[in-house]
Amino acid sequence: MRKIKISNRLKNFPPYLFAEIDRKKFQLKEKGVKFVDLSIGDPDILAPQAVVDALYSSARIKANQKYALDQGSPSLRQSIKGWFAGRFGVCLDQNKEIVPLIGSKEGLVHLPLAFVNRGEYVICPSPGYPGYRSAARFVEAKIHELPLLEKNNFLPDLAKIPLTVRNKAKLIYVNYPNNPTSVLAPKAFLKTLVDFCSKYGIILAYDNAYSEMYFDSKPKSILEISAAKEIAVEFHSFSKTFCMTGFRIGWAAGNQDLLAGLLKVKTNIDSGIFTAIQDSAKIALDTQGKYADDLRKAFKERRDVFVKNLDKAGIKKYYAQATFYVWAKIPAGFESSLDYCDYLLTKKNIVATPGVGFGSFGRGFVRFALTVDKNILEKVRL
Ligand SMILES: Cc1ncc(COP(=O)(O)O)c(C=O)c1O
């Protein structure tokens, strides 16, 4: 039989960063090695009990076991609208400006399929969430790496994007609070970003997955900037805000034509989100109480404990402003972030993510995800 070959498109994909890390973790487990996993942003804290109860009771209803509406349930969209207005003071039309997603990653990765042609540019932050680059590769776009440099507080310098790229760019991904660097974006930057995208007709995919994961000032929505609704779609996730990573649910909000394009892709690929999961997400928004406050408190305590370990290990330069990540410069004596992570894994039984995995401008950094208990973090020795 003729050998079946992988498509050229997929051949060009590097292995997905976290799938590789998972493989290493699996090997360690097989050998019986105990390790502290600070690699993936998957919170160890339970989702709210009311959410789990809602999932269970909704799943028992026969009608809910059928295909769900592609556009998401009207009552979930209504709750998203209410939550958004309360949190950001932005009014959304629940019929045209909100699309529930099977996790924000699903929407982030599908959006270019609706708008980007082969050979057009997609601008991806570096370091940045690896899903953006995958999305660009699926549509055979050219990737322009947008450096997030320490000297600029990890905000991109839009003025440095070459004219040829600006003119041929179709979409830009921007994410604050930022994974992996942990920093927030000031409102002035958001305004500059919207002006830039409007001027060059570039779709702004604003990833706000960590909007509720802050310690001091509250992150903004891009949709708070006037004119943003003309060019932007903002992505939100229940994964981080309500520790619902495995549920797979999020939403996109913003420009109605962009959302219509995304929905067209989705209707051709998935057949809606399981109604019971949508119902549980609605309960998360409607009954959130002080869940998010407690979560922030827990992560702040973890951060304060963990950075003491960095100090002890002689790591003086690190960032931990928001999100549950710490972005640290690798200590002297290590050639690369890969070397340092290898050392942590083999000598200290700690799994961390090498900065270079987030793009070439992540070189020399390491990301620690504080997704294990404070008592464990206290004992970690780097
Ligand atoms: C910046 C960022 N965006 C999006 C996602 C995807 O989240 P989900 O698909 O679980 O909503 C993640 C997950 O780690 C992330 O870090």
Q: Is 209 in the pocket of ligand 1 (CB under 6 A)?
A: yes
Pairing of strands 318-319, 250-254: unpaired
Mutation choice for ligand 1 from 132, 233, 239, CB with most ligand atoms inside 8 A = 239
Tell me how far the alpha carbon of residue 139 lies from the centroid of ligand 1, in angstroms.
20
Q: Is 79 in the pocket of ligand 1 (CB under 6 A)?
A: no
Backbone dihedral angles phi then psi of residue 252, each to the nearest 5 degrees = -115, 145
Q: Is 175 in the pocket of ligand 1 (CB under 6 A)?
A: yes
Residue 273: name the closest of 238, 301, 310 by CA. Answer: 238
Q: Is 179 in the pocket of ligand 1 (CB under 6 A)?
A: yes
User: Which is higher by pLDDT, 254 or 2?
Assistant: 254
3-state secondary structure of 319: strand
User: Which is higher by pLDDT, 189 or 40?
Assistant: 189
Query: Which ligand 1 atom is at minimum distance from the Cα of 179?
Result: 1
Task: Give 131-155 pLDDT, tens digit per residue.
Answer: 999 999 999 999 999 999 999 999 9
How far apart are alpha carbons 208 and 177 in whole angstroms? 7
Half-sphere exposure of 23 (CA within 13 A, CB side): 6
Q: Is 239 in the pocket of ligand 1 (CB under 6 A)?
A: yes
Topology (CATH level 3) of domain 8-46+291-379: Aspartate Aminotransferase, domain 1 (3.90.1150)
Label residue 110 exposed, middle or buried (CB < 10 Å: 0-12, 13-18, 19+).
Answer: buried
pTM (predicted TM-score): 0.96
Q: Check residue 23 and give its pLDDT.
A: 81
Tell me how far the alpha carbon of residue 150 lies from the centroid of ligand 1, in angstroms.
22
Tell me how far the alpha carbon of residue 223 lies from the centroid of ligand 1, in angstroms.
19
Query: Which ligand 1 atom is at minimum distance from the Cα of 245?
Result: 10
Q: Check residue 118 and give its pLDDT.
A: 96
Residue extents of the structural domains in the chain: 8-46+291-379, 49-286
DSSP letter for 210, please. Answer: T
pLDDT band at 164 (very low <50, low <70, confident <90, very high): very high
Task: Give 70-126 pLDDT, tens digit per residue.
Answer: 899 999 999 999 999 999 999 999 999 999 999 999 999 999 999 999 999 999 999
Task: Give 280-339 pLDDT, tens digit per residue.
Answer: 999 999 998 899 999 999 999 999 999 999 988 889 899 999 999 999 999 999 999 988
* Same topology between domain 8-46+291-379 and domain 49-286: no
Q: Which residue minimizes the CA distance to atom 13 of ligand 1?
A: 41
Q: Is 245 in the pocket of ligand 1 (CB under 6 A)?
A: yes
Q: Is 103 in the pocket of ligand 1 (CB under 6 A)?
A: yes
Q: Check residue 27 and give its pLDDT.
A: 85
Q: Is 105 in the pocket of ligand 1 (CB under 6 A)?
A: yes
Label residue 194 exposed, middle or buried (CB < 10 Å: 0-12, 13-18, 19+).
Answer: buried
Amino acid at 247: F
Tell me how far the alpha carbon of residue 240 lies from the centroid of ligand 1, in angstroms.
8
Structure tokens of 68?
A: 């769900």
Pairing of strands 121-126, 142-147: parallel
How far apart are alpha carbons 39 and 21 in whole angstroms? 8
- Arithmetic mean of pLDDT, 263-270: 96
Given a cut of 80, whether residue 207 has pLDDT beyond it is yes
User: Which is higher by pLDDT, 32 or 152?
Assistant: 152
3-state helix, strand, coil in the chain (%, to 5): 50, 15, 35
Q: Is 128 in the pocket of ligand 1 (CB under 6 A)?
A: no
CATH number of the domain at 49-286, please?
3.40.640.10
Q: Is 207 in the pocket of ligand 1 (CB under 6 A)?
A: yes
